[in-house]
Amino acid sequence: MYLTILLIYVAILLGVGYLTSRNGASNEAFFSGNHRSPWYLVAFGMIGASISGISVVSIPGMVIASEWTYLQTCLGFFFGYVAVAYILLPLYYKLKLTSIYEYLNSRFGSSSYHTGSMFFVIAKMVSSATKLYIAVLVLQHFIFDKWNIPFGITVIICVAIIWLYTHRAGIRTIVWTDTLQTLFFIVAISIMCYEAWQLADVCLSTFNFRRLTFNFEDWHSTQYFWKQFISGIFIVIVMTGLDQDMMQKNLTCRTLRESQKNMLSYGVAFLPINFILLLLGSLIIVYAQNYGITLPDAPDKIMPFMVSNVMSPIVGICFVLGIISASFSSADSALTSITTTLAVDIFGWKNNEKQRRMLHIGVCVLFAIIVILFGYTQNRSIIDTIYTIVGYAYGPLLGMFAFGLFTRYQVRDKLVPLVAIASPIICYIINLISTNYYNYQWGYELLLLNGTITFVGLFIIRNKQHTNH
């Protein structure tokens, strides 16, 4: 049954890929979708790309350890989207960028440009690998283990499917496939939440919403409200506004105004979907308590356990479909954006279609290898893993863009890579010292520290003359 669903799903994606590439498969279509994407499709599709299958697995499980405190971060997300819409998007449209890191070239120079591009490539490769890893685990458990197919082969199959429907028209195809995949994802989690509500046997008037309370008391905690709220704002700024993956979709819109409408609509939709996922986790806890069920210790194993052992087959189908939809939606755009960044920023192949295609294949192969390696090392809550990667790898990007936007100084461009590399290392040392000697644990706000250190480093290596930007 699950194999049939997968085959039908893949056939739909390949069909969309064929239809969107009929009018040609140029670099312009691959990189920018010819700037003809309807903003509402981009907005809807970005929901699935941002939330990913990890949310279905990790967020419900997070309720046990940290109750609803993740909602504090989600509240900050919306204000981050406002900042992206009215600060960064006007800049990108004004400069008519294909890769957003071209801004660093015009502002500081080639070393800064290549440094920003490579930080994105490394961070995106690793964080996207964690997201696809979830989809592979689900497919392995529900389909491929029964055929004795190894984990590594499952990874190769998944990446090959993504390459097949994106290799011709790239981002133009992804705008449409992401829309379908987001629809599948939302329907799936809604059905799962409805059945969990039925199983838990609770009504709205008696359900304990104590878990909705926020943490305003313990500022040492990583779940302190203002830490998570402010971090949520900057997580969106870096993971959306300074991320080629997310911005590449926005820049396919016809005009700046349409792109801004897309960003704000997408930002509003983010909160209710995470609310549903947290509610799903709470209902599972209520059910387990009522019927004396022992849930797995690892938060990321709770949802697979419930789907496999408690919930109905229809929920199993929704679970598999939801995770595959969201994970493919995230991975396909990541591979396209990484290819774009390498082709445009690193190798200068913006107009060479043959080299771009070969590069796309190489990126897919490397991505598959990382997912396979990740499968042997992953043992933490994956959503926390991603935000840790964001804190260390995207922090220098935050500092570089902030320095470029809010100061008029030029910098000694050749020294920028040293500052960008030193900043995460300093952050790591500070985190160790504060945890071991001052009982203070850095959470998502590590991103702000990293960006600040980069900003200060750039100020130290500044030139005395001002830029005209």
Segment 433-468, tens digit of pLDDT? 987 887 777 766 788 889 999 999 999 999 866 555
Query: What pLDDT does residue 378 have?
Result: 53
Q: Interhelix angle for 256-291 vs 171-200, to 10°?
A: 30
* Residues 359-383, mean pLDDT to the nearest whole number: 77
Tokens of 38: 């309807």
Distance CA 441, CA 432 (A): 9
Distance CA 21, CA 39 (A): 19
Q: Please, are residues 346 and 114 in contact by the beta-carbon 8 Å criterion?
A: yes
**pLDDT tens-digit map of 225-278:** 888 888 889 888 888 888 888 887 788 788 899 889 888 888 888 888 888 888
Query: What pLDDT does residue 309 have?
Result: 84
Query: What pLDDT does residue 392 have?
Result: 81
Q: Which helix (H) or strand (E) element contains residue 464?
A: strand 462-466
Q: Does domain 2-383 have CATH number 3.20.20.70?
A: no
**pLDDT tens-digit map of 89-101:** 999 999 888 889 9
Tokens 């590439």, residue located: 21
Residue burial 63-94, b: 16+ Cβ < 10 Å; e: rest: bbebbbbbbbbbbbbbbbbebbbeebbebbbe
Calculate the alpha carbon distances from 57 to 47, 300, 383 in Å. 16, 5, 9
The angle at the Cα of 318, spanning 17 to 325, to the nearest 5 degrees, equals 30
Distance CA 287, CA 452 (A): 45
Distance CA 235, CA 229 (A): 10
Q: Interhelix angle for 110-142 vs 313-341, to 10°?
A: 160
Tokens of 391: 């804190």
End-to-end Cα, the chain, rounded Å: 59
Residue 440 backbone zone (phi > 0: left; psi -120 to 50: alpha; other: beta):
beta
Query: What pLDDT does residue 80 have?
Result: 92
